[in-house]
Amino acid sequence: MIWNKQYECMEREELLKLQGERVASMVKRVYDSVPFYRKKLQEKGIEPGDIRTIDDLKKLPFTTKQDLRDNYPFGLFTVPQTDIVRIHASSGTTGKSTVVGYTHNDIQMWSEVVARSLSMAGIGKSDMIQVAYGYGLFTGGLGLHYGAEKVGATVIPISGGNTKKQLQLMEDFGSTVLACTPSYAAYLGEALVEEKIDPKNIKLKAGVFGAEPWTEEMRSQIEQLLGIKAYDIYGLSEIIGPGVSMECHCQKGMHIFEDHFIPEIINPESGEVLPYGELGELVFTPATKEAMPLIRYRTRDLTRLHADRCECGRTLVRMEKCVGRSDDMLIIRGVNVFPSQIESVLLEMSETKPHYLLVVDRENNLDTLEIRVEIEEQFFSDEIKELEGLRKRIKANISSILGISATIRLVEPGTIERSMGKAQRVIDNRKIK
Amino acid sequence: MIIKQLSVFLENRTGRLTELTGILAANDINISAFSIADTADYGILRMIVGRPDAAAEILRKAGFAVKITDVVGMIIPHRPGGLHKALQLISDNNVAIDYMYAFASGECKATVVIRAESLQKLIDVLQEHKMELLQQGDVYQV
């Protein structure tokens, strides 16, 4: 079901015109009300009147996470506090938290894009949606909540955690949709098996999962455990929260709600805009946001955009699952390598767990990649031929999927550092710059 | 007849084996025999110890990957041709050996530790030909 045909199926020409108008008016707003942006535009010699069509977007400077930190907490708000109806903040794993604000209209717009997202997964009035994203400063819980109410579904605002209760309500209430992070969905699926709950008593049909990167392998695992179709939802608090883009039933990438969030793909090094189909860093301009519109916000997420028409009938561009973050991409012998790809290979193999460390070096002007993989005691064979066989299989899988040859080094369990936040996955010993 | 052997995964790092022997010593665990199969990056330490289950538990707690494998200890005369005669018997009966290592115990006997694809078949063959086998009581600590 398409929630808003007018915007989701708009002809490209018309959409570009609309985006141009929205950007122009937004630039004017931030120029007038945010000293940080006024200064930044003046430095580039840009007057609000210079931005008239969507083609002018590329003239504008980027906004980075650092800019948000520098203007902590409310420096980028365009409206007085009297117009702000809600604040959210992201957890500050790498510094101060990032604060975002919403006006009444922003909340309406957010509910609208989440309603469009849920409709893509066929969710409507007859559904009961268990929102197991955290409610609070994190945008996941409340973001899904308002969108679900907008489509008329019955919301169970259970929030995250309390697994026993989740399973009990799922069974007693007959929830048809689960919304949470993919890792929690997998955990709930395993708990269902452990608690020996009869799958016949579970009425789930769809899952709306996002807020962290996940692989296709994880998708099939979750789908099998919960007996559902798992949909990927994307978003980040700086832009709005969940609902920036979402997969339709064709599952050929996530449709970006471009009438609100204007996407670009850029070369992360040069900042140059790349054409559709090319891999680069995703940049968003949330042009209709009232409280905190950002100009060309760099997400650090790496992906590709596709503009060919989707079978579902929507004309909105689709973004691929993000392959990694531009700040952790490695270039090894000219090949782009993301730690997430290696993780995906290791996850696919039953004998390995994703505890690994990449060591990059340069010998005789040639890059070398060593992957240290922990031995799992369960699969530790005391025969060299078995261990060497495992090493060769990892090497062959890495080579066939990433197209590079790596040295695999098996290491003792527990010797690779664990981290609750962002794990250190790469040691780059090359001294190039 | 079946002896429990401890196999431990060891990275090739200076001092790593010493850490392990230190742990066993501190826990009063005797080592009767051992061998190391090594590659460039890691080795597999295989050993016959006095209290295999306890040793495995202690080493696991210390973070080692440990596996208990069943092996057979075959006792042969410690003189020229002693090993050859025994191996001839094993190969004549088509028992495939995965790996083996040996230690001489005293002046007239040697013990060969054998891991075979079919341990039961190996035991049957050896017993049928009246070969002496190492008993758990010979190596286990009470």
- The mean predicted confidence, pLDDT, of chain A is 91
* Shared domain check, A104 and A77: yes
- Alpha-carbon dihedral sign for residues A301, A303, A304, A306: negative
User: Average pLDDT, stretch A374-394?
Assistant: 89
The backbone torsions φ and ψ at residue A215, rounded to the nearest 5 degrees and listed phi first, read -105, 170
User: Do A262 and A213 share a structural domain?
Assistant: yes
| Residue B22 confidence (pLDDT) above 80 | yes
Counted across chains A and B, CB pairs separated by less than 8 A come out at 48
Q: Are residues A204 and A231 in the same domain?
A: yes
Q: Is the dihedral of CA A48, A54, A58, A63 positive or negative?
A: positive
Q: Which helix (H) or strand (E) holds A242?
A: strand A241-247
Residues A377 and A391: beta-carbon distance below 8 Å: no
As a whole-number percent, the residues of chain A with pLDDT over 90 amount to: 68
Cα–Cα distance, B6 to B49 (Å, whole number): 7
How would residue A242 be classed by pLDDT, with cut points 50, 70 and 90? very high
User: Which residues, other chains included, contact A308 with Cβ-Cβ below 8 Å and sequence gap of 6+?
Assistant: none
Does the pLDDT of residue A341 top 90, yes or no? no
Q: Is residue A433 part of a domain?
A: no
Q: Which letter does DSSP use for residue A81 in this model?
A: G
Is the Cβ pair A388, B39 closer than 8 Å? yes
Per-residue pLDDT, A336? 74
Question: Measured between CB atoms, which of B10, B37, B65 is closest to A384?
Answer: B37
Could you say which DSSP state residue A63 is in? B
Query: Which residue of chain A is at minimal alpha-carbon distance from B65?
Result: A377
What DSSP string describes A378-398?
A: GG--S-HHHHHHHHHHHHHHH
- Residue range A134-166, pLDDT digits in tens: 899 989 999 999 999 999 999 999 998 888 999
Looking at the predicted structure, is the pLDDT value of residue A420 above 60? Answer: no
Domain total of chain A: 2
User: Is residue A200 within 8 Å of residue A331, measured between CB atoms?
Assistant: no
Two structure tokens written together for A390: 């495992």
For the ranges A194-198, A246-250, A403-407, the maximum mean pLDDT occurs at A246-250
What value does the mean pLDDT take over residues B17-29?
96
**pTM of the shown model:** 0.67
> Residue A324 — pLDDT band, cuts 50, 70, 90?
confident
Residue A388 gets the label, from left (phi > 0), alpha (psi -120 to 50) or beta, of alpha
| Contact residues, chain A, for B41 at CB < 8 Å | 409-410
The pLDDT tens digits for A94-113 are 456 789 999 999 999 999 99
Residues facing A101 on adjacent strands: A87
In this structure, are A319 and A369 located in the same domain? no
Task: Mutation target for B interface from A378, A381, A382, A409: give the one with most B CBs within 10 A.
Answer: A382
Amino acid at A141: G
Per-residue confidence (pLDDT) for residue A94, from 0 to 100? 45
Q: Best of B35, B42, B66, B113 to disrupt the A interface by mutation (most A CBs within 10 Å)?
A: B42
Res A365: pLDDT? 75
Domain final residue pick, A306, A327, A348: A327
Instruction: Identify the band that residue B127 occupies on the pLDDT scale cut at 50, 70 and 90.
Output: very high
Asked whether residue A16 is domain-assigned, the answer is: yes
A119 and A129 fall within a common domain: yes
Give the mean model confidence (pLDDT) for residues A211-236: 89
Examine the fold and report which residue of A310, A327, A344 is the final residue of a domain before the chain moves on.
A327
What is the mean predicted confidence (pLDDT) over A177-186? 89
pLDDT-derived band at A349, boundaries 50, 70, 90? confident
Mean pLDDT confidence for B10-36: 94
B16, B38, B44, best to mutate vs chain A, most A CBs in 10 Å: B44
Domain boundary among B18, B41, B67: B67
Write out pLDDT tens, residues B53-66.
999 999 999 989 99
User: Considering only alpha carbons, which residue of chain A is nearest residue B43?
Assistant: A384
Select the more confidently predicted residue: A336 or A9. Answer: A9
The answer to whether the Cβ–Cβ distance between B7 and A388 falls below 8 Å is no
**Residue that is last in its domain, among A289, A310, A327:** A327
Q: Over chain B, what is the mean pLDDT?
A: 93
Q: Determine, yes or no, domain membership for A193.
A: yes
How far apart are the CA of A328 and the nearest CA of chain B, in angstroms?
Answer: 27
For residue B53, give both structure tokens. Answer: 């289950």
Judge whether A279 lies within some domain.
yes
Structure letter (DSSP) for residue A354: S
φ, ψ dihedrals at A131, nearest 5°: -90, 100
pLDDT tens per residue, range A303-314: 999 999 999 999
Answer whether A107's CB lies under 8 Å from A100's CB.
Answer: no
A117 vs A367 pLDDT, higher one: A117
For residues A361 and A368, is the Cβ–Cβ distance under 8 A?
yes
Q: Are residues A239 and A189 in the same domain?
A: yes
Give the helix/strand (H/E) hosting A336: strand A335-337
A232-241, A260-269, A354-363, range with the lowest pLDDT: A354-363
Q: What are φ and ψ of residue A416, in 5° steps?
A: -95, 130
* Average pLDDT of the residues in A54-70: 93
- From CA B22, how far away is CA B34, in angstroms rounded? 15
Average pLDDT, stretch A353-369?
84
Amino acid residing at A388:
E
Residue A269 lies in a domain: yes
Domain of residue B135, CATH code: 3.30.2130.10
Domain's final residue, options B35, B67, B99: B67
Provide the 10 A C-beta neighbour count for residue A264: 18
Q: Is the pLDDT of residue A91 over 70?
A: no
In angstroms, what separates the C-alpha of B108 from chain A's closest C-alpha?
Answer: 31
CA–CA separation, A196 vs A208, rounded Å? 24
CB–CB of A380 and B9 under 8 A? yes
DSSP string, A212-270: S---HHHHHHHHHHHTSEEEEEEEETTTTEEEEEEE-TT-SSEEE-TTTEEEEEE-TTT
CB-based burial label for A400 (10 Å; 0-12, 13-18, 19+): exposed
CA angle A73/A79/A82 to nearest 5° reads: 90
Region A169-186: mean pLDDT is 93
B47 lies in the same domain as B79: no
Q: How far apart are alpha carbons A304 and A281 in whole angstroms?
A: 8
Residue B105: per-residue pLDDT: 75
Q: What is the mean pLDDT of residues A169-180?
A: 97
Token readout for A354 is 């994703």
ipTM computed for the complex: 0.83
Q: What is the pLDDT of residue A248?
A: 97
Residue of B nearest to A409 (CA): B41
The whole-number average pLDDT for the span A240-266 is 97
Within a 10 A sphere around the Cβ of B83, how many other Cβ atoms? Answer: 17
pLDDT at residue A422 tops 50: no
pLDDT at A423 over 70: no
H helical segments located in A316-416: 339-348, 384-402
- Assign A419 a pLDDT band (cuts: 50, 70, 90): low
Q: What is the pLDDT of residue A348?
A: 82
- Residue B66 DSSP code: E
Domain carrying residue B31: 2-67
Of B67, B99, B120, the position where a domain reaches its end is: B67
Whether A295 and A334 map to the same domain: the answer is no
A411 CB neighbours in chain B (<8 A) are 11, 42
Whether B111 and B51 map to the same domain: the answer is no
Which residue did the predictor score with more confidence, A288 or A339?
A288
Q: Which of A47-51, A90-94, A106-110, A363-367 has the lowest mean pLDDT?
A: A90-94
CB atoms < 10 A from the CB of B94, how many? 9
Chain A residues in contact with B39 (beta carbon < 8 A): 384, 387-388
Specify whether the CB–CB gap between A355 and A343 falls below 8 A.
Answer: no
Among the partner residues B46, B65, B67, nearest to A413 by beta-carbon distance: B65
Average confidence (pLDDT) over A200-212: 93
Rounded CA-CA distance A263/A191 in Å is: 39
Supply the range of the domain harboring residue A227.
1-327
Q: Which residues of B touch A (CB under 8 A)?
A: 5, 7, 9-11, 37, 39, 41-42, 44, 46, 60, 63-67, 69, 98-99, 115
Q: In the numeric block, which tokens belong to residue B69?
A: 């494998």
d(CA B77, CA A329): 63
Is the pLDDT score of A433 beyond 50? no
Is there a cis peptide before residue A73, judged by omega within 30 degrees of 0? Answer: yes
Chain A, nearest residue to B39 by Cα: A384
